[in-house]
Amino acid sequence: MKFRTKQAASMLLAAGFGCAAVGSAYAAESLQDVMKRRNLSQQDLLAASKTYVPTGKRDEFVAFSSGGQSGQVIVYGIPSMRILKYIGVFTPEPWQGYGFDESSKAVLAQGKIDGKDITWGDTHHPAMSETQGQYDGQFLFINDKANPRLAVIDLRDFETKQIVVNPIYKSEHGGAFVTPNTEYVIEAAQYATPLENKKFYPLEEFNEKYRGGVTYWKFDRKEGRIDPKKSFSVELPPYSQDLSDAGKGPSDGWSFTNSFCTERYVGGIEKGRPPYEAGCSAKDTDYMHVINWKKAAELVAAGRAKKINGHDVLMLDTSIKEGVVFLVPEPKSPHGVDVTPDGKFITVSGKLDTHVSVYSFEKIQAAIKAGKFESKDPYGLPVINMKDALHTQVQLGLGPLHTQYDAKPCVAYTSLYVDSQVAKWNYCEGKVLDKISVHYNIGHLMTMEGDSMDPKGRYLVALNKLSIDRFAPVGPLHPQNHQLIDISDDKMQLLYDMPLPLGEPHYVVAIEASKLKPGVRYKVGTDSRTDKKHAGAVRAGEEKTVRTGNKVEVFGTLIRSHITPETIEAEVGDEIIINLTNLERAQDETHGFAVSTYNVHASIEPGKTVQVKFKADKEGVYPYYCTEFCSALHLEMQGYLLVKPKGWKPTKTAMSAGTNYSEADYKAQLKKVVDTQAVIDSVVGYITGVNYKDFPDVVAMMDDAVDQLGKIKDAKAKADEAAGKKDWNNATLWTEQIWQYQVKAADLGLRAKTYLEQNGAKKAK
């Protein structure tokens, strides 16, 4: 469907698309020129128009993706598919200072296992906090499969606040999933192991001593933290439990967890036995676990749990006796158990089956109520006959994997791994509606708020694992490919290929951007990891360095372009503790802090206070500096850590000045200050001449500029005093400092001016 005729092209020109500049050396291309040069089809242009977000405009949805073995969470905008942030979760990340300042080290230290640091994680399934089954945009939960852990991210500042270690598993793939009011965060075991920590049993005792389970982590929304003491687990047979979902509406109070390798095969390829993949997929069905979590919670509260490694576990015999856990066969090796928005059905796909199976919660409940079971599993759990639980089955294709829902009634989408396709189908009537090819080998897929009670439709993201020919090559380790698909029409349309530059995402959730309301800056002196006042915070003018024994503690501040203090003196072997508060008010004026060769870094956003700590175990001179390009003089935002030999005494007390200044230098500085004030006055004139007060960002910038100008008084007093004494060095430098404050105020003013022009400011009334 490319332009075939000159006529079509000239119509485009008539429609006003031509932009040819007249009389220029290099003529601007028209739309038709660009389409021809870049070999774009009409369909490509339509896709471009659906995904392009012009400067200053925002994405409609914000997606949160697991980063897989990068141990992070990836945040991106939809439909532009631009990545907005990588959030450090299980892996230290120096740009964010994560794992380099003391408070964030303490968060990572919560994730220690058996007393040892784990410096990475395998994140798989993020979950957004929910209120009444709808995404509320407050918290994000993410698991670590390799080291069974779960993290809490606060979406007020997009920082990781807590890591909890599962006390009874050795791996867990199936977290995080939340109950409809985020009462609990659900996390299922993956590979069965003995539940007692550091306990060895041979594989010969697999059936007897190895176990799986599902953990329900209690979330305290007010504290924004998981409460491990109020959390519990339900013991399960040594099947490989996999993904879960919480019931909602009619099925609220129940949760569903699928599984694979219910054959309980233990491999042994090295001994000539068939490998795991054969032994773990030989049966046609595995089990969906149907769990009454409300009843389980009541039983635990009633003291019916057993403590294992200090953690409440509802054992199998109690679950069987009290009717907490039921099994339903599901097609083999499934991945995903997805409750419909109305809470009435649960869909499961076996990756080695061509069908998607739709289970009816009502039918399952009827079977349970009637006590109608086809058998018991080897551990005594009642098994409901598949036919008694099924609403319908639909043949979709090869490798069906994960299902998400549309805003349109009864419409679902399922990824087909082997076919490299997405199938659109109707789960009420059980029929296929459409299919589209993706590139290549799709794992999970995701629709907007598509696992909540109120899916938003419009877009679908295919999380393709392989991208072989899609992108410019970057070596043997390829990016994955998230493809954006338009689902607003009857036919799905491929819109965009997005490479994933870091990490191997497994699952994504996306929320309407308008639901996210992050803070723009911290209250001055905040420890962002505890949300409390930082003990090391000081205000401007209160900076100090305190020596106690062999401990040197700095209480410093940061503001464009100084670190206070600019010199830290220590002796070899001293413990150095540096607390730094960012005094800026402009919301994006982050400062960083690094000390040469001491492996120290911090990111200090406006209002934040951080602490870094290290032993000054090397004699010498170590520069420190602000690592963020924060102003025109950010390179000069520096200082020296001086580490002296023990007992060192100065032999030279006067400093040889590098440069001496004259009265003429001082006068030249004075003139510069007067000239610059004229620039500032003109910018201020523009800003106050428009409705700048309607723009909170600009008001904050103006506050910040006024802060900078406010510092002039003190610098001027010092300059005047020095000039009075004919101390031309200090008179010149303090006047230079006045000019620096002016430059920063002008910088803010000019940015505010550009901002106002961009955002359609109008003449003030």
**Which residues from 358-397 bind its own copies, rule CB under 8 A?**
none
**Which residue, among 648, 508, 609, has the nearest Cα to 101 in the 3D structure?**
609
Among 549, 645, 685, 724, binds its own copies (CB under 8 A): 645
Q: Which of residues 243-302 bind its own copies (CB under 8 A)?
A: 260-271, 274-283
From the CB of residue 466, how many other CB atoms can be counted at a distance below 10 Å? 15
Distance CA 176, CA 184 (A): 10
Spatial CB neighbours of 57, under 8 Å, sequence gap ≥ 6: none
Q: Which stretch binds its own copies (CB under 8 A): 52-60, 298-306, 315-323, 340-348?
A: 52-60
Write the interaction track for its own copies spanning residues 560-589; mark x where CB under 8 A is met and - where it is not: -xx-xxxx------------------xxxx
User: Which residue's entry shows tokens 């004699």?
Assistant: 619
Q: State the minimum distance, in angstroms, from the CB of residue 264 to its own copies.
A: 3
Among 128, 163, 324, 594, binds its own copies (CB under 8 A): 594
Among 12, 383, 386, 428, binds its own copies (CB under 8 A): 12
695 close to 753: Cβ distance less than 8 angstroms: no
Distance CA 294, CA 183 (A): 10
Spatial CB neighbours of 302, under 8 Å, sequence gap ≥ 6: none
Helix or strand run (H / E) with residue 134: strand 134-144
User: Which string of DSSP letters, residue by residue, matches 657-692?
Assistant: -S----HHHHHHHHHHHHHHHHHHHHHHHHHHTBTG
Report the residue number, 133 or 399, with the smaller CB distance to its own copies.
399
From the CB of residue 656, how many other CB atoms can be counted at a distance below 10 Å? 5
204 DSSP 8-state letter: G
Among 395, 757, 760, 764, binds its own copies (CB under 8 A): 757
Q: Which stretch binds its own copies (CB under 8 A): 73-81, 131-139, 175-183, 380-388?
A: 73-81
Report the residue number, 247 or 399, with the smaller CB distance to its own copies.
399
Helix or strand run (H / E) with residue 611: strand 609-615
116 DSSP 8-state letter: B
- Please report whether residue 208 would count as binding its own copies according to CB under 8 A: yes
Among 6, 54, 541, 647, binds its own copies (CB under 8 A): 54
Distance CA 675, CA 318 (A): 83
Q: State the minimum distance, in angstroms, from the CB of residue 398 to its own copies.
A: 7
Q: Which of residues 118-177 bind its own copies (CB under 8 A)?
A: 118-122, 145-148, 155-159, 170-171, 173
Q: Which of residues 455-484 bind its own copies (CB under 8 A)?
A: 465-479, 483
Report the residue number, 156 or 248, with the smaller CB distance to its own copies.
156
Distance CA 605, CA 587 (A): 8
Q: State the minimum distance, in angstroms, from the CB of residue 218 to its own copies.
A: 24
Widest CA span in the chain = 101
Q: Which stretch binds its own copies (CB under 8 A): 110-118, 222-230, 302-310, 318-326?
A: 110-118
Q: State the minimum distance, in angstroms, from the CB of residue 380 to its own copies.
A: 16
Q: Which of residues 178-207 bind its own copies (CB under 8 A)?
A: 190-191, 193-194, 197-207
282 close to 260: Cβ distance less than 8 angstroms: no
Report the residue number, 195 or 324, with the smaller CB distance to its own copies.
195
Q: State the minimum distance, in angstroms, from the CB of residue 70 to its own copies.
A: 4
Report the residue number, 324 or 552, with the smaller CB distance to its own copies.
552
Distance CA 502, CA 610 (A): 27
**φ/ψ (deg, to 5) at 601:** -150, 145
Report the residue number, 370 or 678, with the smaller CB distance to its own copies.
678
Distance CA 740, CA 720 (A): 17
Q: Which of residues 504-563 bind its own copies (CB under 8 A)?
A: 504, 506, 513, 516, 518-522, 528, 543, 545, 561-562
Q: Which of residues 654-683 bind its own copies (CB under 8 A)?
A: 654-656, 658-659, 661, 665, 669, 679
Question: Is residue 481 classed as helix, strand or coil in its secondary structure?
Answer: strand
Q: State the minimum distance, in angstroms, from the CB of residue 288 to its own copies.
A: 16
From the CB of residue 471, how many other CB atoms can be counted at a distance below 10 Å? 14
334 close to 350: Cβ distance less than 8 angstroms: yes
Q: State the minimum distance, in angstroms, from the CB of residue 496 to its own copies.
A: 8
Report the residue number, 184 or 692, with the smaller CB distance to its own copies.
692
- Please report whether residue 17 would count as binding its own copies according to CB under 8 A: yes
Q: State the minimum distance, in angstroms, from the CB of residue 332 to its own copies.
A: 10
- Please report whether residue 407 would count as binding its own copies according to CB under 8 A: no
Strands (E), 427-472: 431-437, 442-448, 457-464
Q: Which two tokens stand for residue 428?
A: 């009420």
Q: State the minimum distance, in angstroms, from the CB of residue 355 to its own copies.
A: 15
574 DSSP 8-state letter: -
Report the residue number, 394 or 586, with the smaller CB distance to its own copies.
586
Write the interaction track for its own copies spanning residues 342-361; mark x where CB under 8 A is met and - where it is not: ---------xx---------
Report the residue number, 282 or 535, with the smaller CB distance to its own copies.
282
Spatial CB neighbours of 147, under 8 Å, sequence gap ≥ 6: 90, 111, 113, 118, 121, 122, 165, 171
Q: State the minimum distance, in angstroms, from the CB of residue 703 to its own copies.
A: 14
Report the residue number, 152 or 594, with the smaller CB distance to its own copies.
594
Q: Which of residues 410-449 bind its own copies (CB under 8 A)?
A: 417-420, 437, 439-441, 443
**Which residue, among 264, 318, 262, 260, has the nearest Cα to 291 in the 3D structure?**
318
- Can you give 212-229 as a three-state secondary structure string? EEEEEEEEECCCCEECHH
